[in-house]
Amino acid sequence: MANMAPNTARVAPQDPAGTQQRGNTSALVIVTMLFFMWGLITSLNDILIPHLKSIYTLSYVQAMLVQFCFFGAYAIISLPAGALIRRIGYQKGAVTGLLIAAAGCALFYPASYSSYGMFLFAFFVLASGITVLQVAANPYVAVLGPARTASSRLTLTQAFNSLGTTIGPAVGGLLILSAVGAAAGATADAATVRGPYLALAATLAVLAVLFMAARLPKIAETEDVALEGESHGSALAHRHLVLGALGIFLYVGAEVSIGSFLINFLGESRIAGLSHGDAAHYVSIYWGGAMVGRFIGFAVMRVVSPGKALAFNALLAIALVLTATFGSGTTAMWAILAVGLCNSIMFPTIFTMALHGLGKFTGQGSGILCMAIVGGAIVPFAQGALADSMGVQMSFLLPAACYAFILYFGIKYASLYKAK
């Protein structure tokens, strides 16, 4: 596989040498704050799913409508978000996303007085804001430096996303699950979400103001050389983008599905028999593994091919999920929690490999990849159907199958960044 020109976009030259680099570093720090916030918000879903399932007496399929509405927003909003960002720019696009996400968090307050359907609407609005953020921030990070280290940079920012996902379940378990039962009735239990989500709404609004006031480098598109043998007709003419989009779909689906079922899985008598409140602490371990792995991956992928690292992690994830599926007790419990470590580099690596060499189609490609995050809606929903019919433990065969495709993608494009 031939190597391409180093960047699909560039920072518009404005300052003398050295000043631009400092500007890139400052921009990376600011954008990393956004990754942290949407990680924290996304992982709170893993706490709310069993919570709402209990309150409204839902089946697994019905409970997974939370993820269906949340990640379904990526399918509906990603392409319009890409068009919006092309029109108003990356910085204003991120501010818009923050304000929409803040509105979604605020909707949890009226939802707590209403019905499960209102909660699902709030999840959709919240996710719509996060989708706009994703479409703006991921390619922004990718172009703040050489293409060769784009996976490494995005892995670093994703590590702080994982810091948010690690803190989220612990905070949610403390503020939401620990308050359950203090008063009787579904409305009283639903009320435990009001304070945490109003606080999140206020935080996101403040971040929007700060982000608008920040001085960030301007990003400009530039032409690039496409992968050898691939067409320039559209983003979808690039095979590695299409396969990468499928990889994102299956990866996000597997990661979200495992997180969504963790509390119920750990509550199984054959596994650990934990209460929802106790199991919530272990969800933090799952997401914490991804955080640790991303810091490691940031360094490792400066010397190891991203494709090879991706294939290795996918192979290990398959082995661990199968161990959890067919095992029992602490072996099964720790095997499924360890999958978080394997997930660490997958999203940023697939994302940057899929965008490599797209040139003027980078924005369109980013929108397609973010739309593929809808896997987080479809795969958990499908696993919910399996869990209802064959049990929670055996339903984990579905995530194992998802990781098998990621293994293939990593092997196929292992040489993507090698020199000609």
pLDDT bin (cut points 50, 70, 90) of residue 300 is confident
Mean pLDDT of 247-267: 95
Mean pLDDT over the full length of the chain: 83
Q: pLDDT digits over 25-57, tens only?
A: 766 777 788 888 888 898 899 888 988 888 888
Q: pLDDT digits over 69-127, tens only?
A: 999 998 898 878 878 888 888 888 889 999 999 999 999 999 988 889 999 999 999 99
Task: Map tokens 């106790």 to a residue.
Answer: 278
Beta-carbon contacts of 350 under 8 Å, excluding residues fewer than 6 positions away, are: 244, 247, 248, 251, 310, 406, 409
Residue (of 401, 407, 398) closest to 380 by Cα position: 398
Residue (of 275, 296, 273) closest to 342 by Cα position: 296
What is the distance between the alpha carbons of residues 167 and 324, in angstroms, rounded to a whole number? 24
pLDDT at 232: 52
pLDDT at 348: 83
Beta-carbon contacts of 77 under 8 Å, excluding residues fewer than 6 positions away, are: 127, 128, 131, 132
Domain ranges of the chain: 9-412
- Give kind and range of the element (H or E) at residue 9: strand 9-11
What is the distance between the alpha carbons of residues 301 and 352, in angstroms, rounded to a whole number? 12
pLDDT at 229: 43
Predicted TM-score of the model (pTM): 0.77
pLDDT bin (cut points 50, 70, 90) of residue 6 is very low
Q: pLDDT digits over 301-351, tens only?
A: 778 888 999 999 999 999 999 999 999 999 999 999 999 999 988 988 998
Q: 92: exposed, middle or buried (C-beta count within 10 Å: 0-12, 13-18, 19+)?
A: middle
3-class secondary-structure state, position 211: helix
CATH 3.30.70.1140 fits 9-412, yes or no: no
What does DSSP assign to residue 220? E
Inter-residue contact 29 to 160 (CB < 8 Å): no
CB atoms within 10 A of CB 241: 27
